Each structure stands twice: as structure tokens, then as C-alpha cells.
Amino acid sequence: MNKTKIIVVEDNIVYCEYVCNMLSREGYRNMKAYHLSTAKKHLQQATDNDIVVADLRLPDGSGIDLLCWMRKEGKMQPFIIMTDYAEVNTAVESMKLGSIDYIPKQLVEDKLVPLIRSILKERQAGQRRMPIFAREGSAFQKIMHRIRLVAATDMSVMIFGENGTGKEHIAHLLHDKSKRAGKPFVAVDCGSLSKELAPSAFFGHVKGAFTGADNAKKGYFHEAEGGTLFLDEVGNLALETQQMLLRAIQERRYRPVGDKADRNFNVRIIAATNEDLEVSVNEKRFRQDLLYRLHDFGITVPPLRDCQEDIMPLAEFFRDMANRELECSVSGFSSEARKALLTHAWPGNVRELRQKVMGAVLQAQEGVVMKEHLELAVTKPTSTVSFALRNDAEDKERILRALKQANGNRSVAAELLGIGRTTLYSKLEEYGGKSSVSCPLKPSDSAPLKHSTMPP
């Protein structure tokens, strides 16, 4: 039986029983609520897997009131409105607030179960994506704050970041935390679209629109209706395609190739790029007016080298994933492997880290990953934004963070900080004299502490 529970909110006891019996026959667990107040109590115990089906009219409020309360409380379960009153304005209001659909009661028998199936199918498709690791580093927590700020709005979001930083994962997070979460998420690889194919790809075409168009085709805008359209590496679009997109976004409608009528659309657009689009605008490679349309709100994903605190947690996450996928039993990383992971420059960012860890686990099979299993190119350790020393007020915090990340290994911590070991020892001795600093020596750090001065 499916784990999903359907909460049916309907004041007509006979009709509520009818809907619940219909759901039970299809194998769905369900729960009844005859009042708005009862529904709220059920929802306090609900899981994210549950779905709400609510009557528009209730004794102590309305389905719209319940939907507003849910979204205000951060409860993003899919919500379906049903009513005897075929009021178009009410349907539009509920959809704007984030309801999945609006079903007249006379059509519930035909439409409700197929709609629930489509919601679950979309949810399962999302679950097949690579799991998103909940990163705890300070830089990523700032990103999560910005995601929480903008997710529930319909503002267009531009995600900036180098290749491999996880921009599409950020786009999925935005979608999953939005009121469009139960609707489609359609990702478009803008780099693969030529200016000739783009109109049909985005807007679709009718049968016979051009040579070879033997059947009608639905475009990305139609596929994403009600949900999110993600334009990955949007800077790669041809100027002609940019102009076509700009017009559609401005007018909120498009025309399939070969059709005689425009179609309205309701999608939220999220775009991503690894370029500085302001430079592209200055070089006449990207339209400034389109950039303004796509960039209502910006999120910058920092490179992995600026998120040192996340490297080992991510490496352990990918190790666990590799163990499951490759049927290995690797328990961790050797001290030399940890040092290599922490001091590597990671030009390919999180994508490179995942690839290296997966390959290392495959080679190790069991025990621990050794440095040689990682097959990392020799690179000069970089002084990172996260740990580089800047001033006396921040030095102590950064040193302690670096030591924690290096598992107490002072040699590795010095490399992360971009300073010599003697400088680190001097700093530790200085802080030790001012307050309690517990930093046990590792065997490789047995050299005595020496006084040193900071380099000029």
C-alpha cells in the first residue's frame, strides 16, 4: 500500500464517505475531516507525503482559508480543491495560492484518482534524482536562507556558479519548496539548442508545420505548465533565441510553430549560468533586457574551494552512496587521503569530488580509501576564502575551524590557512595564553611549538 495518506476535508458526511471509499478501493489510506479546525489538527501530524483534498465550502471557513493557513505554516503538501460551485474566479484564486487543481464534484469520480496518480508519478521522478546532501557549512547556509526567502514567490531566479557546483540541485530545492512543488520541473540544456530548433523545442509545433513535422509536438513551456522551467547555462542561447524568449516572457504567451493562435502559460522561470552575464552583455552576446527579466533575484553558489567545511562531509556522503551503488564496504578515508581531499583545489567542484570518491571506493572495495585511490592531480594547495587569515579579530575562529576540518592535524590546518606551521604554532600559543584552546597534537605534529612572527 502506498505510504501517501489523503486527507479529505468535506462537511457533507455522506459525500466524504463516498470519496474516502473510492480512495480506499484504489489502495490509498485516507483520513476524514468535517471541519476546518479538524483538518488543521490532522495536518499538524501530516507528513510531506500526504495530499489534501478539500471542499471549497466548510462550516467554519473555506478550502481557500485552509490552503492559506497551510502555506503560511510552511506546509507544502499538494492541495486539491473540489466544489459544487463552478466559479472560475475561485478556481483561479486557489491555483494562484498553490492548489494543484480544481475539480467540480460531478467529475471527482473520473478525475480525482488520475490526478493523485500524476502527483505521485511526478514525486517519484523527483525522488529518482541524486539525493541532495544537506550541507552545513556557513557559506551554504547563506544560500539556504536566500532559497527560503524567494522559494514561495513567483520571482525569476538566476543561479550563478562554476561548473560542478550544483546549480541544478539549487533549482530543484527552489521548486520543491515553492507552491509549485507538485507540478512539473522541466530542465532545458540551453547549450544543446540551435537557433533553428529552439522555437519548436520551447513552444512546440503543429503537424505539418515544417518538413518532417509528421506529428504535433508539445514544447517545454507546455510541459512545465503550472510548474518550473529551468534554463541551464542560459548564456549559451543564440541571440535570436534570446529575443524569442524575451517576447514570450514579457507577454506571458507563446505561439507553437505553424499554429494560428497564441497560448497563455503559467510557469516560474529559474535560470543558471557559469558566466558573468554582465560581461556577455557588454560583448553583445547576451541581451540586457532578457537578463533583467531572468534576474529578479540572484543566488551565487560558491566553488568548493571556498567551502572547506563541506569537503569531508560531502566525501563521506559520496562514500556511502558509492558503497550502496557499487556494493562495496569502504569504512572511511586514511589520514593521507583526508589531507589530499582537504588541500586539493577542486577545479571541478562537487561534481569532481563525487567522481573521485566513487572511483576511489571502487578501487578500495573495502577497508579505507588511501591517497593513491583518489588519483588526484598534484596541485598547489590554495588559500581559501573560508579559512585564509585576515585580521586578529577573526584569526582565532578561522584557525579553530581549520583545525576541526583537518581533524586536529596542524600540518593540514596550516595548508588550509595558507600559512607556515611555525606561524600556526605561534598563533595557537598566543591564543592558549589568552583563553582555552584545546587542539591535541596528531602523531605527525610532534614538532615542538616555536615562536614566530606573521609574514609581512
Question: Nearest CA to 145 among 170, 168, 122, 165?
Answer: 170
Q: Is residue 293 within 8 Å of residue 246, measured between CB atoms?
A: yes
Give CATH 3.40.50.300 domain extents, the chain: 153-300
Give CATH 1.10.10.60 domain extents, the chain: 392-433
Q: Per the structure block, which three cell numbers stand in for 78?
A: 499538494
Give CATH 3.40.50.2300 domain extents, the chain: 5-128
Question: Nearest CA to 73 among 104, 99, 44?
Answer: 44
Q: Is residue 54 within 8 Å of residue 82, measured between CB atoms?
A: yes
The third-level CATH classification (topology) of the domain covering 392-433 is Arc Repressor Mutant, subunit A (1.10.10)
Sequential DSSP letters for 391-431: -HHHHHHHHHHHHHHTTT-HHHHHHHHTS-HHHHHHHHHHH
May I ask the CATH class of domain 5-128?
A: alpha beta
Q: Is residue 310 within 8 Å of residue 136, measured between CB atoms?
A: yes
Give CATH 1.10.8.60 domain extents, the chain: 305-374
Q: Is the pTM of this model over 0.85?
A: no
CATH no. for 305-374: 1.10.8.60
Question: Of the CATH numbers 3.40.50.300, 3.40.250.10, 3.40.640.10, 3.40.50.1370, which one belongs to the domain with range 153-300?
Answer: 3.40.50.300
Count of C-beta atoms within a 10 Å radius of residue 11: 15
Q: Tens-of-pLDDT digits for all 456 residues of the chain?
A: 457 899 999 999 999 999 999 998 888 899 999 999 999 999 998 887 899 999 888 899 888 889 888 877 777 788 898 877 555 556 556 655 666 677 888 888 888 988 888 888 776 655 545 555 667 777 888 898 999 999 999 999 999 999 889 899 999 999 988 989 878 899 998 888 888 889 989 998 888 888 777 788 888 999 899 999 999 999 999 999 999 999 999 999 999 998 888 999 999 999 999 999 999 999 999 999 999 999 999 999 999 988 888 899 999 999 998 998 889 999 999 999 998 998 898 988 998 999 999 999 999 999 999 999 999 875 544 444 344 454 555 667 677 777 776 767 777 777 777 677 777 777 777 766 444 344 444 444 433 333 333 333
Query: What per-residue string of b and e applies to 156-186 under the rule 16 or more CB within 10 Å gives b?
Result: bbbbbbbebbbbbbbbbbbbbbbbbbbbbbb
Separation CA 23–CA 18 (nearest Å): 9
